[in-house]
Homo-oligomer: A and B are copies of this chain.
Amino acid sequence: MISSAPIACQACPVADRAVCAALSQDDRDSLVRMGRQRRYARGETIVAAGDATTVCATLTRGAAKISTIDQDGTERIVALIHPAGLLGQPLASSETLHVTALTDSEACLFPRGQFEALIEARAALAKRLLAEVSRELVESRNLIDLISKRHAKGRVAALILSFFRAAGHASYPGEIAFDLPLKRGEMAQLLGLSIETVSRTLTSLENEQAICREGSHGILIRSLDTLAAHAA
């Protein structure tokens, strides 16, 4: 068990983008008092299926996946969360959703009941939350956009582009390196492909000079255009 600590907003890398930004100093103080900050190692569970009704959180550092587990134990990824994103929506039942850290991560956890009470009391927070959930909805639809392509190369290219954009370097020229915090199996599952196809597709993209692989998760983009062409 990794230790949890009081929340320190001054040091928060997403203080301006997270939903808490909507609050007055006073309200934020009371939110801080009821929340906890916690670190997670890669692979660690952040919110288990049962807890989803009792807790919600903001991811401050790292990356996370939201997934379901069906009866025969197969995991199915349904969302990827980047810093400032929400883990466990308030006001929505999601008893079957697991949240897991994809890389070493950090999050601020809030008791769901108290958090919802604060929503009730502060219209600004509700509005900000609404905006955030709407944003996640748009992202989720982008994800659907990704995977409803007919060919493996298109899906993989689109996934790479999506992480590239999430990493922040919106539209740089030249070569950019970043991390793809998913294992092959996770990519495969998300894209509806087999592990081997993902692997082969990546080597194929590398052979045609679209990307370079660095280790198993590092990606260096050599030709945005080629990727975009495949993803189209």
- What is A's interface to B at a CB cutoff of 8 Å? 66, 68, 70-72, 74, 76-79, 89-94, 97, 119-120, 122-123, 126-127, 129-131, 133-138, 140-145, 147-150, 155, 189-194, 232
Q: Within the complex, which residue of B77, B79, B92, B120 is in contact with A123, where a contact is CB–CB below 8 Å?
A: B120
Q: Lowest 7 A-B CB distances belong to which pairs? A: A92-B134, A78-B141, A126-B126, A140-B140, A148-B192, A123-B123, A89-B134
Tell me the bound Cα distance from A191 to B192 in angstroms. Answer: 10
29 A-B interface contacts by CB (under 8 A): A66-B141, A70-B232, A71-B232, A72-B232, A78-B142, A78-B145, A79-B141, A89-B134, A90-B130, A90-B134, A91-B130, A91-B131, A92-B131, A92-B138, A122-B123, A126-B127, A130-B130, A130-B133, A133-B133, A133-B134, A136-B137, A137-B137, A140-B141, A147-B148, A148-B189, A149-B192, A150-B193, A150-B194, A155-B192
With both chains docked as a complex, state the minimum distance between the C-beta of A96 and any C-beta of chain B, in angstroms. Answer: 10
Task: Output the nearest chain B residue to A146 by Cβ-Cβ distance.
Answer: B144
Residues of B within 8 A of A133 (CB): 130, 133-134, 137
